[in-house]
Structure 1
Amino acid sequence: MCAAQRDDDGMTAARISALLSAFAPGDDALGVSELARRTGIPKSSAHRLTGHLAACGLLERTGGAVRLGLKLFEIGQLAIGQRGLIDAARPYLADLREATRNTAHLAMLEGTEVVYLDIVRGPDAPNLASRIGGRFPAHATAVGKAILAHSPADLVEAVISAGLPMIGPRTLTAPGLLRRQLAKVHEEGVAYEREESGTGVICVASPLLDSSGRARAAVSVSGWSNRVRADRVASAVRTTALTLSRTLP
């Protein structure tokens, strides 16, 4: 295959990824013009690619617009390589929710972001932006910091090099501050996030460690900053993480 062909294939793959990723939570169907606007892809190209995606079931036509197809859900179920982890963690997350009446999360790191594998929402918790399968910048979350604190140094530096944007009113955006906080998290085994991901939100997290001491994932409890006593829930979160770590293969 010549270099030009490889470049064309790479561009097509990138455009398909951009089109599928353009759908946001709450979106149903989107028109081609809106997809072109969100992705920056020329409208003619967006129209052609959405036609191909609809033909193979990755998108579905509805009127003059398209929506994500059921085939994506089927593929997604096959892609969940962490199914065993999710199943093992679910009863522990439910216990955390019942004990604290706040939202319990299970998340892992992918690139510079955390991906939420499971969420058990609490009755007294705020309406959080997190969702199963959703992503959030690692530096602005307690689960992200819990994982980074037990990850190789080059991974931490990759997160810092990618930028530390302000997400909430108190997000850590200074590399030095983040490094110092991660060192403390590594020592204590518990990470805290106080209005770093959003106004009025507090989160306490602890990592799930493998036999080498590296973080595989993290569990957390999130709630209102003026209601949740971080010191009171920290022991429950830490105990959950330690117990889960021992049960995982």
Structure 2
Amino acid sequence: MNIVKKPGYAVDSVDRALQLIMLLQERDWLRITDAAKALDVAPSTAHRLMAMLVYRGFALQDDQRRYCVGPALRADAAAGPARTALSIARPHLEALALSVRETVSLVERVGITARYLFTAEGPQLLRVGNRTGTVLPAHLSSGGKAILATLPQPSVAQLYTGRQAQQSGSSLAAAELAGLQRELEEARTRGYAVNLGRTEPDLAAVGAPLAIAGRPAALAVSISAPLSRGGDIQQPAIIEALHATCEAVMRDLHAEGVPPAL
């Protein structure tokens, strides 16, 4: 058996990034302080390394500033279709961002989280930045709610009151769940979900699912803007463009044989 030695030309930053990837694969969630300790580097260094992994899809960040394995490292069966869906959706999202002049994202629901797989930034000077790699609570984000709205009410209730939700501390109280169900019913009626300052105080967003009528979705497209333009992105022309993009992506997914519910 050959002994693998550290190369004499080893690049420390690359070595640390690879160690960081291994840590992500070993743990469910990883905080910057823990990563810095494991790598024996300053937290600022660990943060810069992690930021690059997020940018390239190797890591995802949630709203508690924790990190987990990103789509580029996933080995599950859904990873292939998800990557194919992303490549199909990308040109449509970029075209929509230019058309509506706001930031557009492809969002995936994983359990009770909404994970941003890709972002096309809008051209305006004051805009929402790149969300790729961000993980948010699905019941607060527009994309997450758009996807949840394609589920039957009992399935939504199970997600937020079941054993897994209770064990993870993410269960919703009865009043919170009732409020969420009302929001989802409104989203089903109008065809899109809204987030006005729920995930970030100065952010507004609308989201629509990539779904076939009567079937649960796994992905959504969202349009994000500063809260001051929250009313603008709900104008009929913007919502029509959002729905047209979703329909175009669904047509291309069907043509490529990619299932809409990933």
Normalised by the length of structure 2, the TM-score is 0.63
2:42 and 2:203 map into 1 onto residues whose CA distance is 40
1:142/1:73 Cα in 2 relative to 1: closer, same or farther (>3 Å)?
closer
Q: Deviations over 1:208-246 (max 9, x none)?
A: 014752212000100022224112421111111122122
Q: Which residue of 2 aligns with 1:204?
A: 206
CA root-mean-square deviation: 3.5
Q: Which residue of 2 aligns with 1:30?
A: 36
1:15/1:114 Cα in 2 relative to 1: closer, same or farther (>3 Å)?
closer
Q: Deviations over 1:34-70 (max 9, x none)?
A: xxxxxxxxxxxxxxxx4xxxxxxxxx56589985698
Higher share in strand = 1
Helix, strand or coil for the counterpart of 2:198?
coil
Task: Give the partner amino acid of 1:223.
Answer: A
Helix, strand or coil for the counterpart of 1:215?
coil
The number of residues matched between the two structures is 197
Contact 2:109 2:144 in 1 (8 A): yes
Aligned residue among 223, 244, 247 for 1:242 = 247
After superposition, residues 82-121 of structure 1 pair within 5 angstroms as: 82-121=82-121
1:154 and 1:188 map into 2 onto residues whose CA distance is 21
> Is 1:17 equivalent to 2:12 in the alignment?
no
Larger Rg: 1
Contact 1:106 1:220 in 2 (8 A): yes
1:156/1:233 Cα in 2 relative to 1: closer, same or farther (>3 Å)?
same
Shift of 1:78: 4.9
1:23/1:163 Cα in 2 relative to 1: closer, same or farther (>3 Å)?
same
2:120 and 2:24 map into 1 onto residues whose CA distance is 33
2:150 and 2:199 map into 1 onto residues whose CA distance is 21
After superposition, residues 120-159 of structure 1 pair within 5 angstroms as: 120-124=120-124, 125-127=126-128, 131-159=131-159
Overall identity of the aligned pairs, in %: 27
After superposition, residues 35-74 of structure 1 pair within 5 angstroms as: 50=38, 67=46, 73=58
2:58 and 2:180 map into 1 onto residues whose CA distance is 36
Contact 2:105 2:131 in 1 (8 A): no
Unaligned runs of 5+ in 2: 1-22, 60-68, 162-169
Q: Which residue of 2 aligns with 1:163?
A: 171
Contact 1:112 1:158 in 2 (8 A): no
1:14/1:104 Cα in 2 relative to 1: closer, same or farther (>3 Å)?
closer
2:133 and 2:25 map into 1 onto residues whose CA distance is 21
1:244 and 1:110 map into 2 onto residues whose CA distance is 20
Helix, strand or coil for the counterpart of 2:228?
coil
1:15 and 1:217 map into 2 onto residues whose CA distance is 24
1:244 and 1:227 map into 2 onto residues whose CA distance is 26
1:233/1:211 Cα in 2 relative to 1: closer, same or farther (>3 Å)?
closer
Normalised by the length of structure 1, the TM-score is 0.66
Contact 2:204 2:229 in 1 (8 A): no
Shift of 1:120: 1.1
Contact 1:207 1:215 in 2 (8 A): yes
Helix, strand or coil for the counterpart of 1:192?
strand
2:108 and 2:149 map into 1 onto residues whose CA distance is 13
Q: Deviations over 1:128-180 (max 9, x none)?
A: 5x732221001111101100000243441144333359xxxxxxx73222111
Task: Give the partner amino acid of 2:193.
Answer: A
1:236/1:66 Cα in 2 relative to 1: closer, same or farther (>3 Å)?
closer
Task: Give the partner amino acid of 2:224.
Answer: S
Shift of 1:123: 3.2
1:15/1:103 Cα in 2 relative to 1: closer, same or farther (>3 Å)?
closer
